[in-house]
Amino acid sequence: MAPLDEIRGGGGALGAAPAPQPREPGAGGLEESDFRLISANGFGDGLNNYAHSMAWFEGRLYVGTTRGTWAMTKVNKPTPDLKPWPTESPDNVYEIDRRAEIWQYTPETDGWKRVYQAPFVRGRTVARAPRYIGMRGMTVFQGPSDSKPCLYVSTWAPQQSEPPDILRTEDGETFANVPRPPWDTSVRSFRTLQVFRGRVHTTPTGSTSTQGQSQECVASEASVYCTEDLQTAHWVPASPDGFGWPNNLTIFEMAEFNGHLYAGTVNAAEGFELWKTDGAGGPPYRWKRVLSHGAWRGPLNEVCGTLCAFKGALYVGTGIVNGGYHRAMNIGPAAPEMIRVWPDDSWDLIVGHSRLTPEGLKVPLSGYSPGFDHIFTGYIWRMGVHGEYLYASTMSWANVIPYLLVEQWPEEVLVLMKRWGKDELVRRYGGCSLFRTRDGVRWEPVTRSGFGNKYNWGIRTIVSNGCDLYVGTANPFGPTVAIRRNGRWEYVDNPRGGCEIYLGRRRQG
């Protein structure tokens, strides 16, 4: 268990209000009232828990889902100490329909259409299994074999099926798989499809362990693969495994910035690393390390979770896998940080803990401690640029508090828990946050309550089409949720469970 100040996220006393932030100059940023809900309850099916991927393609919005999150978590090891289980979940996860879906939104009609549902296939040891349980990434790309730009989707496969594929569509309605990278059969998922120098780059981000357990954010190798043509898919390595360091367990996130490809790792021993390459000479590239040791916070910055270029700098959102507490590695709980990297590889701490580093003293320029002063923030999940603003979202595990066996927590935490009570903590901290900034330093909250839905424990996708900003939530508390009535727990239907999609548009006048 982490020290108390880490559990608090580095702020003051539990429940202290965030320090007032100066208002940014100028107008144009979206407020919570500028967002409207355009899809709820997992597109009408609460098992659609995550809006896991999102892209704008030929005038329409596409959203890929991941299904049955709590049911998956229940069968993984180590299993969280929860009682009761937050949602009604069978012991055999294959008893529920976890076939991942892709949905299409047409703004002119304000209508949704399901354009893809993963098929059932024969499992390795079960009669029927979903081919894919999640759609973790999307990109638009035109390779030599594509007659036009196409939408490509990275998938997540359960243990009972073959390794995951990349799906391709020309028209947004007909999807077919293209050859996958040359991964071993333990690979279960990948997420990033990053275009750079006319090539698509990806990495495995989840594998089955040697003990047969699913590892969502740890892969069997930590290599970048790339191809110029996804249809012919001549995949070649673009980096050495782990950039030559075995403690880099996974290359988790990539982004293009200042003519370079940046890649961030999962490193449970020392903290994430950030590497970059200009791609000169073709693959395999020559790489340079930019950050190490979790920007000198160590394993509490275990993963580089999100990257986004904004106004001449690259912003890095960190976290600890599995929602801020990596049980298998005994890391956390602790709240995440945000770091800003400049083209010359110098860096600033934007949100986080003050500390001495080899580059000198780093203090959070925003005034926010880890997690934007939110003690239950697991990671800064996604970032996106819309207009003159950078938007950053979080994941909050506060809604799990009612089900936690808190008796195992340190005594000082139990004192605070008894003083506030679980219900009050959920009321104050339930629901994820979305923040915005115009200058990278002064941040303002757009929402701190999951847009008024405490079951939205994260915002997983942020996409701008230039006019509107779309955000998709992660909400695993459906289709049922455990609630306490008259001193007893029972499962009830949850109309606020399942992912939600919001459209942000600045009001006129």
What does the pLDDT look like over 66-90, one tens digit per residue?
A: 999 999 999 887 888 899 999 999 9
Average pLDDT over residues 222-236: 95
The tens digit of pLDDT for each residue in 269-325 reads: 999 999 999 999 999 999 999 999 999 999 999 999 999 999 999 999 999 998 888
Q: What is the pLDDT of residue 2?
A: 33
CA distances from 187 to 190, 215, 235, 251 (A): 8, 9, 16, 13
Answer yes or no: is pLDDT of 160 > 90.
Answer: yes
Distances 134 to 14, 131, 231, 427, 477 between C-alpha atoms, Å: 36, 9, 21, 30, 17
The answer to whether residue 311 is domain-embedded is: no
Rounded mean pLDDT, 484-497: 96
Domain that holds residue 85: 51-139+150-193
**Environment class of 407 (CB within 10 Å of its CB; exposed 0-12, middle 13-18, buried 19+):** exposed
Note whether residue 256 is domain-resident. no
> Residue 407 falls within a domain, yes or no?
no
DSSP conformational letter for 141:
E
pLDDT band (50, 70, 90) for residue 213:
low
Cα 93–97–102 angle (5° rounding)? 125
Q: Given pLDDT bands bounded at 50, 70 and 90, which one contains residue 210?
A: low
Share of the chain above pLDDT 70, in %: 91
- Residue written as tokens 């008024």? 452
- Are β-strands 488-493 and 458-464 bridged in parallel, bridged antiparallel, or unpaired? unpaired
pLDDT at 4 over 50: no
Which band of pLDDT confidence, cut at 50, 70 and 90, is reported for residue 55? very high
Contacts of 387 (CB under 8 A, 6+ apart): 28, 29, 464
Q: Does residue 12 register a pLDDT over 60?
A: no
- Tokens 């069968």 belong to 75
Query: Do the bridges between strand 250-257 and strand 236-237 make them parallel or antiparallel, or are there none, so unpaired?
Result: unpaired
- Residue-wise pLDDT for 408-460, tens only, equals 665 766 776 778 888 888 888 899 999 999 999 999 999 999 999 999 999 99
> 154 in a domain, yes or no?
yes
Q: Tell me how many domains the chain contains.
A: 1
Confidence class for position 217, pLDDT limits 50, 70, 90: confident
Flag whether the pTM goes above 0.85: yes
**Would you say residue 113 lies in a domain?**
yes
Q: What is the pLDDT of residue 309?
A: 98
Question: What does the pLDDT read at residue 407?
Answer: 67
Is residue 162 domain-resident? yes
Percent of the residues in the chain that have a pLDDT greater than 90, as a whole number: 80
Is 312 within a domain?
no
pLDDT at 219: 78
Residue 117 has pLDDT above 90, yes or no: yes
Q: Is residue 377 within 8 Å of residue 324, measured between CB atoms? A: yes
In a domain, residue 62? The reply is yes
Give the max Cα distance, the chain. 68
DSSP symbol at 211: T
